[in-house]
Amino acid sequence: MNLSTETWIWIGIGYLVLCVIVYFIQEKFIFKPEKLPEDFQYQYDAPFEELFFEPEDGVKINGLRFFHEKPEGLVIYFHGNSRSIKGWSKYASDFTRYNFDVLMIDYRGFGKSTGKRTEVNLYNDAQYVYNRMRAKFDYQEDRIIIYGRSLGSGFACKLASQNKPKMLILDAPYYSFSHLTSRFLPFLPISILLRFSIRTDIWIRYVRCPIYIIHGTKDWLIPFSSSVRLQGLVPLAARLVPIYGGGHNNLPSFQEYHQKLEEILKGRFDLVFDKYES
């Protein structure tokens, strides 16, 4: 079928309009926050305290610290793209049961956190929180574990690449955010339009601690192949931990997930990091 010049012009205009729309509304698809009133009271059975971090004037990052009297260390947990730490905090018990303190923070615009979201701002917030936790609570860096879940895996990887934590755990990570979104919009120039590229594939090369990559083999949102590719970039430093039959949002329902996580946290996982021996 031969289309007229006028038809091609209208198709081109429509395509450009679509690109503009995607550029300006992309945050509504990437981030799905639950916002909480300032006076909201968190309630949990485990000992915890509410924290506020101020990385810059007018910006507050809300966090919850679940703590022990004599912890094994600290897990800094970066959650996924939806809800708030009010709901995500139920996963703190996956770490506190092994005597680890846990810090969960909300990104800008999530929960009680405030401020304009940009990729750089989110990276800077993570580093500021990391520094403040070390300074305020005297956590030694070799006892800090960085954990990133789904969207949070990119921020966790970036943070680990700039510091020297005990280990980095990535849960259902993407190869890069632009690579992930291009799966759903292959007909658009995602690399140009996307304001959040989050290049996990770059940052992981600069991580200087053991890396564990946990991923469900039946994940339809972020394919298992993303983790296979990431592990392939740093085969000596990273260990791939497949959860067979696991999807994107149900790994905690698998006993294998908890078994592997316990082995990792307790240092019993069967991986020897010769490159880190002094």
Token code pair at residue 138 = 């005297």
263, 177, 174: which is closest to 219 by C-alpha?
174
For residue 100, the cross-strand partners are: 73
Gap between the Cα atoms of 234 and 161, Å rounded? 13
Looking at residues 105-111, what average pLDDT do you find? 97
Q: Considering the domain boundaries, does residue 191 fall inside one?
A: yes
Q: Considering the domain boundaries, does residue 275 fall inside one?
A: no
The predicted structure's pLDDT at residue 29: 74
Q: Considering the domain boundaries, does residue 276 fall inside one?
A: no
Q: Considering the domain boundaries, does residue 66 fall inside one?
A: yes
Distance of CA 4 to CAs 12, 121, 142, Å? 13, 47, 66
Q: By CB neighbour count within 10 A (0-12 exposed, 13-18 middle, 19+ buried), where does 226 fall?
A: buried
The predicted structure's pLDDT at residue 119: 93
The predicted structure's pLDDT at residue 184: 65
Q: Considering the domain boundaries, does residue 278 fall inside one?
A: no
Looking at residues 146-153, what average pLDDT do you find? 97
Q: Count CB-CB contacts under 10 A for residue 275.
A: 9
Looking at residues 69-89, what average pLDDT do you find? 96
φ, ψ dihedrals at 58, nearest 5°: 80, 5
Residue % of the chain over a pLDDT of 70:
90
Structural domain of 58: 5-270
pLDDT digits (tens, 9 = 90+) for 181-191: 766 667 767 66
Name the DSSP class of 116.
Answer: -
pLDDT digits (tens, 9 = 90+) for 254-277: 999 999 999 999 988 865 444 444
pLDDT digits (tens, 9 = 90+) for 49-71: 999 999 999 999 999 999 999 99
**Total domains in the fold of the chain:** 1
Gap between the Cα atoms of 233 and 230, Å rounded? 5
Q: What CATH number is attached to the domain comprising 234?
A: 3.40.50.1820
The predicted structure's pLDDT at residue 173: 97
Question: How many H helices and E strands in the chain?
Answer: 10, 10
Looking at residues 230-240, what average pLDDT do you find? 95
Q: Considering the domain boundaries, does residue 168 fall inside one?
A: yes
Chain centre to alpha carbon of residue 142: 20
Q: Considering the domain boundaries, does residue 20 fall inside one?
A: yes
Per residue in 34-65, is it b (16+ CB within 10 Å) or e — as a string? eebeeeeeeeeeeebeebebebeeebbbbbbb
Instruction: Report whether 133 contacts 165 (CB < 8 A).
Output: no
Gap between the Cα atoms of 226 and 228, Å rounded? 5
Q: Considering the domain boundaries, does residue 277 fall inside one?
A: no
Helix (H) or strand (E) holding 102: strand 100-105
Gap between the Cα atoms of 176 and 153, Å rounded? 10
Q: Count CB-CB contacts under 10 A for residue 169.
A: 25
